[in-house]
């Protein structure tokens, strides 16, 4: 589908939502633009066409409920459009949102579809057969079923130094006088070291 810059600009200037503040719709525009860029939709003409379509859908919903945030509405519309489009391209329209969203996005990334066919993304009228076939072949295949296994605790061998240190601490616990004596000796040695280091 051929687009001209003038037709896109003209369409954007005709977008005038009946409800909501202009600043809120501008923020929604920026959010959708960022979202499309995150999906590697870098073609500005196609971006503008998609943003306009999304904003128009969100504006119709906003007229019915003006208390809703335009940015939230546009985000919901993008998700709906992408779910429907992924379902159409992959031939799996009955999948739940979480599954179709993940499967579709992974297939889109694996095929590099957004850059190879920039105008095919979210095109509801004509999806190139080669593009759809590549997306379907790259969709996620379910892995093997999870199996429950049990892992019992195993002793950890930390070596002879750790064993000797453990035995020493156990002896200190049995003889508190010895423990106190050793601590005082360490304290005296530290003071002596400081004394000789500063002289």
For 5-60, write each residue's pLDDT tens digit.
444 444 455 678 888 888 899 999 999 999 888 888 888 888 888 899 999 999 99
Q: What is the pLDDT of residue 125?
A: 74
Residue 118 Rama label (left phi>0; alpha psi -120 to 50; beta): alpha
pTM over 0.85, yes/no: no
Least confident of 7-21, 66-80, 105-119: 7-21
The closest of 37, 62, 61, 63 to 51, measured between CA atoms, is: 37
Task: Name the residue ranges covered by the structural domains of the chain.
Answer: 5-138, 162-198
* pLDDT at position 76 over 80: yes
Integer Cα distance of 87 and 5 in angstroms: 30
For 153-186, write each residue's pLDDT tens digit.
777 766 777 777 777 767 767 777 777 888 889 8
Percent above pLDDT 90 for the chain: 19
Across 143-151, average pLDDT: 62
């Amino acid at each position: 589908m051929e687009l001209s810059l003038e037709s896109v600009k003209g369409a954007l200037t005709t977008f005038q939502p009946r409800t909501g503040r202009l600043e809120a719709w501008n923020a929604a525009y920026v959010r959708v633009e960022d979202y499309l860029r995150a999906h590697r939709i870098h073609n500005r003409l196609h971006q503008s066409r998609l943003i306009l379509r999304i904003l128009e859908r969100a504006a119709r919903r906003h007229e019915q409920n003006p208390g809703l945030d335009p940015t939230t509405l546009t985000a919901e519309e993008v998700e709906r459009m992408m779910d429907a489009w992924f379902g159409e391209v992959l031939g799996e329209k009955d999948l739940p949102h979480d599954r179709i969203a993940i499967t579709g996005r992974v297939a889109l990334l694996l095929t590099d579809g957004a850059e190879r066919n920039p105008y095919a993304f979210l095109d509801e009228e004509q999806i190139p057969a080669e593009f759809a076939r590549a997306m379907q072949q790259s969709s996620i295949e379910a892995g093997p079923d999870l199996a429950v296994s049990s892992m019992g605790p195993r002793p950890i061998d930390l070596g002879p130094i750790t064993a000797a240190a453990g035995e020493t601490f156990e002896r200190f616990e049995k003889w508190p006088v010895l423990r106190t004596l050793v601590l005082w000796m360490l304290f005296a040695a530290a003071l002596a070291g400081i004394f000789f280091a500063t002289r």
